[in-house]
């Protein structure tokens, strides 16, 4: 199992307008964001018992340390929700909440009531569809579904008065037919309503502050105090607006509250509950409580039930999620990277704070086993003195701190190999300076230019092709320099495509970026603007709604990013991509082929599939440039071509990128094809031609 991977298993998503089912999606989103903020790698999967084998394979392949079970319904009904627990028990992976027996028992209100009655715990009298049960003449009954929670199918017509059991039985049948749910009738207690939330601990559970539902103005309006569907889900309804939760006890409630706690704890033990749960009560006018429902899978959202109760005793939502995970045997605190990353939770929602909190010195990093010695640290510091280091807390937290070969760690930790330079490696192999008519602008191809608007990045990648410039205090792009570049573009009508690059253009403030985009958009012959950025990968918090609006205003605008490993896909990064894609911004990815990081067919295929799933076109797979300081990342061309061969017939054509090499001496980009291997040259060399018709000889084994 991977100790930092958490899976959220949730309801299957299908077309629905029911707010209670839509709410499950919100619950998943909120939980995923919270887990991501805690430093976890989060994935989400829908539970479909008809696809159990395929789902099991996916889960085993991902190897999560813990599964948050949020499955409440299957095919829109709660009757079989316990199958998710059974499935997880068979997988043998720790999961949150109660087990299959507890859920199957409590989701069936009739079985629950029989067990409560058998244990002499109070519950209102009831009548079953077949006539079994107890009918008390002169009292009202609430007709409700046997298997559903969330007040589903409970409305103002659910409360009935009947003269005899036969009449009530007929109303139960009619209500079942009307709603489509199997129903029963429960004696209505016209009194107070309480929710008692419990958190699992070793021994007996912790009872959180009791919540009472107050029905404001109901008696004046002649309405029964029923917590129906509208009360929970229909904004603007009388019930929604006039029922409020309070944790403030009334004077003289001490004995009642003690009894509610006693009964709730007894229910926890009787039904074998674990993790977290909620017991709901009605209390009559004599102060006698009765259990009306036991919820083994209550909603996990910051302002709802158990979360609201926990907040009353200083347990915020993140801490609550951590406690629930700990009860399932997984400590989320172990996910934090260490040292400066104690600020992670405070900075994750604010991209500027993430930048301020970047780790910029090897001494900030937790050493890997075998790298604790002074010499290793001194070597890393020596590298950082030549090629600056910086990494956001977010991105550092994706790494395995105890693994020196971690594919994330290797992309940002200085390596002594960076100071070892091969003879054919140079600072500027693309000869960008030669094609720079004005500072910060590169005009290598006839109809397009690259405009550098920043020489800073959120993370300084160790494989960067501009290591000679990026991150150095002596190198800065001023607005004066940028406007020189824009003036050049304006004076060259052959330029139809402008690529904003750097560094990372999204290091600029929103105002400055908007200013640059607006200025370029005034140039009539510029058809397309592109932006190259790693922000969705290393600092997804930068992709704010405000930024997306700015990018939208500059359409047609394309954004290319650089995911190099499937581990870089988290809930945060996928949410950032979704914001961009939903705004109609075309997305592409330019992966760099890196030895020991993504040169495996399995890893690369997974990366490509993650991209496509997130509406990102796998655009380029770059052969690592012949830049000084990156030789230890470079595969041979032959290895790259063999990797490309692995995709033929094994994935969708649109998921396969072009394998690109930047030719030496500024020759430009050319695509390398798997068919080049079929040439089988005796000397191990192939000849390629660039866009200008110039021929270049490439060594397949370099």
Summarize pLDDT for 375-412 with one digit per residue, the tens. Answer: 777 888 899 999 999 999 889 888 876 677 889 999 99
**Beta strand ranges found along 209-318 (DSSP E):** 211-215, 243-246, 276-283, 289-295
Question: Is-catalytic flag, 625?
Answer: yes
Q: Pick the catalytic residue: 85, 183, 299, 464?
A: 464
pLDDT tens column, 194-215: 999 999 865 689 999 999 999 9
Per-domain residue ranges of the chain = 2-95, 125-188, 433-699
CA dihedral 347, 350, 353, 359 (to 10 degrees): 60
What is 433-699's CATH topology? TIM Barrel (3.20.20)
Q: Does residue 507 contact residue 454 with C-beta atoms inside 8 Å?
A: yes
Residue 427 and residue 468: Cα distance in Å, rounded? Answer: 6
pLDDT tens column, 559-571: 999 999 988 988 7
**pLDDT score of 38 more than 90:** no
pLDDT tens column, 343-374: 333 344 579 988 998 999 888 876 655 555 66
Question: Is-catalytic flag, 448?
Answer: yes
Q: What is the mean pLDDT of residues 484-513?
A: 97
Q: How confident is the model at residue 232 (pLDDT cuts 50, 70, 90)?
A: confident
Q: Pick the catalytic residue: 521, 555, 615, 669?
A: 669
| Cα-Cα-Cα-Cα dihedral sign, residues 129, 134, 139, 142 | negative
Q: Pick the catalytic residue: 240, 435, 445, 488?
A: 445
Bridge partner residues of 184 (DSSP): 144
Task: Work out the percent of the chain whose per-residue pLDDT is above 90.
Answer: 69
Among residues 200, 347, 224, 227, which one has the least CA distance to residue 292? 227
Q: Does residue 320 contact residue 313 with C-beta atoms inside 8 Å?
A: no
Q: Pick the catalytic residue: 183, 299, 461, 624?
A: 461
Tracing tokens 């006693």 back to the chain, one arrives at: 262
How many CA atoms does the CB half-sphere of 702 hold within 13 Å? 16
Q: What is the mean pLDDT of residues 655-666?
A: 93
Whole-number pLDDT of residue 21: 53
Question: Is-catalytic flag, 534?
Answer: no
The CATH code of the domain at 2-95 is 3.40.50.20
Residue 604 and residue 594: Cα distance in Å, rounded? Answer: 10
Tracing tokens 């299908």 back to the chain, one arrives at: 14
Among residues 230, 181, 198, which one has the least CA distance to residue 73? 181
Predicted structure pTM score: 0.57
Residue 97 and residue 180: Cα distance in Å, rounded? Answer: 28
Question: Is-catalytic flag, 497?
Answer: no
Whole-number pLDDT of residue 374: 67
Q: What sections of 271-316 are H helices per DSSP?
A: 305-311
**Collapsing DSSP states into helix, strand and coil, what is residue 263?**
helix
What rounded mean pLDDT belongs to the chain?
90
Question: Is-catalytic flag, 464?
Answer: yes
What DSSP string runs through 650-678?
TS-GGGPPEEEEEEGGGTEEEEE-THHHH
Whole-number pLDDT of residue 204: 81
Question: Is-catalytic flag, 634?
Answer: no
Q: Pick the catalytic residue: 460, 625, 628, 634?
A: 625
pLDDT tens column, 243-299: 999 999 999 999 999 999 999 999 999 999 999 999 999 999 999 999 999 999 999
Question: Is-catalytic flag, 250?
Answer: no
**pLDDT score of 309 more than 70:** yes
Whole-number pLDDT of residue 373: 60
**pLDDT score of 93 more than 90:** yes
Residue 211 and residue 306: Cα distance in Å, rounded? Answer: 9
Question: Using CB atoms within 10 A of its CB, is residue 352 exposed (0-12), middle (13-18) or buried (19+)?
Answer: exposed
Whole-number pLDDT of residue 202: 53
pLDDT tens column, 50-67: 999 999 998 998 889 999
Q: Does residue 640 contact residue 598 with C-beta atoms inside 8 Å?
A: no
pLDDT tens column, 683-694: 788 889 999 999
Q: Pick the catalytic residue: 109, 340, 410, 466?
A: 466
Among residues 615, 554, 548, which one has the least CA distance to residue 586? 615
Q: What is the mean pLDDT of residues 107-125?
A: 98
Q: Pick the catalytic residue: 410, 448, 462, 467?
A: 448
Question: Using CB atoms within 10 A of its CB, is residue 632 exposed (0-12), middle (13-18) or buried (19+)?
Answer: middle
Q: Pick the catalytic residue: 85, 162, 183, 457?
A: 457
């Amino acid at each position: 199992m991977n100790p930092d991977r958490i899976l959220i298993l949730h309801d299957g998503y299908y077309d629905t307008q029911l707010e209670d089912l839509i709410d499950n999606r919100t619950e998943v989103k909120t939980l995923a964001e919270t887990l991501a903020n805690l430093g976890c790698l989060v994935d989400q999967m829908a539970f479909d018992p008809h696809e159990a084998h395929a789902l099991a394979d996916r889960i085993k392949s991902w190897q999560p340390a813990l599964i948050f079970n949020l499955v409440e319904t299957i095919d829109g009904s709660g009757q079989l929700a316990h199958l998710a627990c059974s499935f997880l028990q068979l997988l043998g992976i720790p999961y949150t909440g109660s087990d299959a027996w507890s859920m199957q028992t409590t989701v069936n209100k009739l079985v629950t009531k029989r067990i409560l009655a058998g244990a002499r715990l109070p519950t209102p009298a009831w009548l079953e569809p077949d006539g079994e049960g107890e009918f008390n003449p002169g009292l009202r009954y609430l007709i409700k579904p046997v298997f559903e929670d969330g007040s589903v199918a409970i409305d103002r017509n659910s409360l009935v008065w009947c003269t005899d059991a036969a009449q009530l039985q007929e109303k139960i049948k009619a209500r079942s037919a009307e709603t489509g749910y199997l129903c029963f009738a429960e004696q209505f207690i016209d009194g107070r309503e309480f929710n008692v939330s419990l958190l699992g601990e070793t021994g007996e559970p912790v009872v959180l502050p009791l919540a009472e539902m107050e029905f404001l103005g109901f008696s004046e309006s002649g309405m029964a105090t029923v917590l129906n569907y509208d009360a929970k889900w229909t904004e603007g309804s009388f019930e929604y607006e006039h029922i409020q939760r309070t944790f403030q006890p009334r004077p003289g409630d001490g004995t009642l509250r003690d009894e509610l706690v006693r009964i709730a704890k007894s229910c926890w033990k009787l039904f074998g509950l674990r993790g977290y749960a909620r017991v709901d009560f009605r209390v009559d006018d004599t102060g006698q409580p009765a259990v009306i429902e036991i919820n083994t899978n209550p909603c996990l959202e910051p302002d709802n039930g158990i979360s609201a109760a926990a907040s009353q005793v200083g347990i915020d939502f993140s801490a609550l999620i951590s406690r629930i995970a700990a009860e399932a045997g997984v400590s989320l605190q172990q996910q934090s990277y260490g040292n400066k990353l104690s600020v992670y939770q405070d900075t994750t929602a604010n991209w500027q704070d993430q930048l301020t909190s970047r780790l910029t010195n090897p001494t900030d990093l937790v050493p890997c086993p075998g790298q604790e010695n002074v010499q290793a640290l001194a070597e890393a510091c020596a590298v950082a003195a030549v090629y600056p280091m910086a990494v956001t807390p977010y991105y550092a937290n994706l790494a395995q701190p105890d693994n020196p070969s971690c594919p994330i760690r290797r992309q940002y930790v200085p390596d002594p190999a960076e100071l070892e330079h091969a003879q054919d490696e140079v600072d500027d192999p693309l000869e960008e300076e030669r094609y720079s008519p004005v500072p910060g602008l590169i005009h290598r191809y006839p109809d397009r230019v690259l405009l550098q608007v920043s020489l800073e990045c959120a993370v300084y990648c160790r494989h960067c092709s501009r290591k000679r410039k990026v991150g150095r205090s002596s190198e800065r792009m001023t607005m004066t320099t940028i406007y020189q570049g824009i003036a050049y573009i304006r004076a060259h009508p052959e330029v139809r495509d402008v690529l904003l690059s750097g560094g990372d253009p999204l290091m600029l403030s929103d105002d400055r970026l908007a200013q640059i985009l607006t200025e370029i958009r005034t140039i009539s012959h510029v058809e397309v603007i592109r932006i190259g950025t790693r922000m969705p990968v290393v600092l997804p918090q930068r992709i704010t709604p405000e930024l997306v609006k700015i990018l939208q205003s500059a359409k047609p605008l394309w954004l290319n990013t650089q995911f190099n490993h499937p581990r870089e896909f988290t809930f945060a990064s996928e949410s950032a991509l979704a914001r961009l894609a939903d705004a109609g911004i075309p997305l592409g990815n330019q992966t760099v082929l890196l030895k020991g990081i993504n040169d495996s067919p399995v890893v690369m295929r997974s990366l490509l599939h993650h991209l496509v799933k997130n509406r990102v076109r796998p655009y380029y797979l770059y052969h690592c440039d012949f830049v000084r300081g990156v030789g230890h990342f470079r595969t041979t061309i032959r290895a790259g071509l063999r990797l490309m061969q692995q995709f033929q017939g094994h994935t969708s054509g649109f998921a396969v990128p072009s394998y690109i090499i930047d030719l030496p001496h500024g020759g430009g980009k050319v695509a390398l094809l798997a068919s080049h291997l079929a040439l089988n040259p005796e000397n191990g060399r192939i000849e390629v031609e660039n866009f200008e018709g110039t021929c270049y000889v490439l060594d397949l084994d370099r």
